[in-house]
Structure 1
Amino acid sequence: MNLALTVLEITAPVFLLAGVGFAWVKLGFEYRIQFVTRLAMTLAVPALIFTALMKTELDKSALGVFVIAAILGHVLLALVGSVLIKTGRLNRQTYLAPFIFGNTGNLGIPLALFAFGEAGLGYAVVMLAVSAVLSFTLGLSLVAGKGGGAKALREPMVWATLLGALFLWQDWQTPKFLTNALDLIGQMAIPMMLITLGVAIARLTPGKTGLAVLLSLAKLIASVAIGWGLGWAFGLDQIAFGVLVLQLATPVAVTSYLLAEKFGADAEAVAGLVVVSTLMAIAALPLVLSLLIDL
């Protein structure tokens, strides 16, 4: 009973805030998702990443090991996804990137923070940074058929990660007034991302639902298995282990739909993956969390 209550306390704020965004749209209120997303990705999330890295008290060598595990997690998901897509004779441009990249920002960071505290947030922003860099390079190449290196260098999140890593490595700190300002900006990120997630889900129309269910289930099982295996193989501590599994297990990101729409992949099919995997996550992530907390 205590474990169930703990899991509910962790997951309820996340899904309630996403529900606010969902209800907002269904009630007919205006929500300029392009503006809010740009504000979050250009200002709030980079500030959150930079301050979390600069202020973290996590061991640097432990973070380095976690980065390697995070990269390998994405690589293994790419391999599993490639096999499934080839076996099912599916379109690689449409389905592979959504299979690899989860919603490590909008959903993963809040869950990691509520489940594992500030230490969990530190690992979670590292995972987001790894996922973002891979998404802007490998992800773009899969969907658009061209390299995304130049695109990655234009992303504030990438620069915030590099700068935060530098400050962490050198044990530097920004002046107190600047740190406080960046903290305030970064605090916008989590509620803004969750509400925007709910808005985006409310506006999507699921497509090819049967296939979406199968792929979402396969992604969830593969993600948890890969995260668990890597966490055990690298000997990660409980918090790093939990964040790795949790972040890999997050549902398909809304950005996968936006990329599919922009570059001519089957956007309707990707929308189906986003909606179905997110609904599946509502049931599955509390179960995954209960297993992680009970380690």
Structure 2
Amino acid sequence: MIVFWHVLFPVLLIFVSGFILQKIFHLDIKPISTMAVYLLLPLLVFDIFYKEAINLSFYQVFAAAVLIMFALIVLVVLLVKCFRFDRASLSALLLSTVFPNSGNFGIPVVLFAFGQKGLIYAMPMMIIHNVMMSTFGIYFAVSGKGGLKTALRTVIAQPQNYAVVLGILMQQFHIPLPGNIFQSVRYVSDAAIPVVMVVLGMQLANVSLRQFKFGRISFVLLIRLFASPLIAWGICAALRLNPLLTDVIVLLSAMPSAANTTLYAIQFNAQPKFVSSATFVTTVTSILTLAVLLNLLL
């Protein structure tokens, strides 16, 4: 109950606020998602990489995160072939299952569970997940309808990727950013996560229970909340990572579907109603699964 009240409940309130806003005013979501994808998120990732130094733990987390991602991709592709889903459904399922909400959901949970020592490992994981979402996530969103060339062109055109490179270079070469400019970046980047969560709530307001594909959402639930942490535990054991790092990676891998994927689904029309529904259902269900997992880890 303490984890729910202090960590999970505030996140659900943001979803609900967006849901109520959309029910009352019936706003056009696309311009808001465009602002988030092309302005808020790039400044957020620049802010993170500009402040955080890359060290040994970053490379360990990077190796684990990449292996977990590819293991999940292989699992989803194999299951999609078994059930003979179409290409668009594959893209939507990959968006919903591969990327966990390690930022605005995972970071608070890790901080509550493991304190500052756990946060040292959680921050690099969140950074890497953001980079993977801005590359592989966008590729998945576009490839379902545009083909390989269109998907690659879209990935190359994303400002987030250049924000990452710029942030790393400025951090590594100790290039200072003038205080007033840095403050402006911070103001905008601080708005990124709340806006993404509000957009998700707004998108959910446009989805009715009749449109829920319960079979496929159950598919997402099993992979995102159960298979993903098991795969993460196996990979961490194979890499012989220390116990605390293993616990943090397993916990972050058990997070619900990332809210950013809803933005990409809306922006690139990759079955946004299904992706937002899957994000919502995994978020609500994770309240129970995370409570169980935390009792096992602590």
Confirm or deny a common fold (TM above 0.5).
yes
Deviant stretches of 4+, over 6 Å: 103-106
Deviation at 1:195, TM superposition (A): 0.8
Structure 1 match to 2:34:
38
Structure 1 match to 2:183:
180
Structure 2 match to 1:61:
56
Deviation at 1:71, TM superposition (A): 2.0
Deviation at 1:49, TM superposition (A): 0.9
Aligned equivalents of 1:128, 1:251: Cα separation in 2? 13
Cα pair distance change 1:231/1:19, threshold 3 Å: farther
Q: Gapped runs of 5+ residues in structure 2? A: 112-118
| Aligned residues: CA RMSD | 3.1
Aligned equivalents of 2:163, 2:129: Cα separation in 1? 14
Q: Find 1:141's aligned residue among 117, 140, 143.
A: 143
Cα pair distance change 1:106/1:68, threshold 3 Å: closer
- Map 1:1-295; keep pairs closer than 5 Å: 4-26=1-23, 28-57=24-53, 59-91=54-86, 93-102=87-96, 107-117=101-111, 119=120, 120-137=122-139, 139-147=141-149, 148-205=151-208, 207=211, 209-220=213-224, 221-234=226-239, 235=241, 238=244, 241-242=247-248, 245-246=251-252, 249-251=255-257, 253-255=261-263, 257-258=265-266, 261=269, 267=271, 271-272=273-274, 274-285=276-287, 287-288=289-290, 291-292=293-294, 294-295=297-298
Aligned equivalents of 1:225, 1:112: Cα separation in 2? 17
Aligned equivalents of 2:130, 2:242: Cα separation in 1? 18
Maintained 8 Å contact 1:106/1:190: no
Deviation at 1:122, TM superposition (A): 4.5
Maintained 8 Å contact 2:96/2:278: no
Maintained 8 Å contact 1:40/1:193: yes
Maintained 8 Å contact 1:106/1:197: no
Q: Deviations over 1:150-179 (max 9, x none)?
A: 211211111111212223333443222222
Deviation at 1:22, TM superposition (A): 0.6
Q: Deviations over 1:215-238 (max 9, x none)?
A: 123322222222232334331663
Maintained 8 Å contact 1:204/1:275: yes
Q: Deviations over 1:243-294 (max 9, x none)?
A: 56535643273246437746xxxx4xx6345414522331225532662484
Q: Gapped runs of 5+ residues in structure 1? A: none
What amino acid is the match of 2:281?
Answer: L
Mean Cα deviation higher: 116-125 or 61-70: 116-125
TM-score (structure 1 length as normaliser): 0.81
What is the aligned-residue identity percentage? 17
Maintained 8 Å contact 1:53/1:164: yes
What amino acid is the match of 1:140?
Answer: V
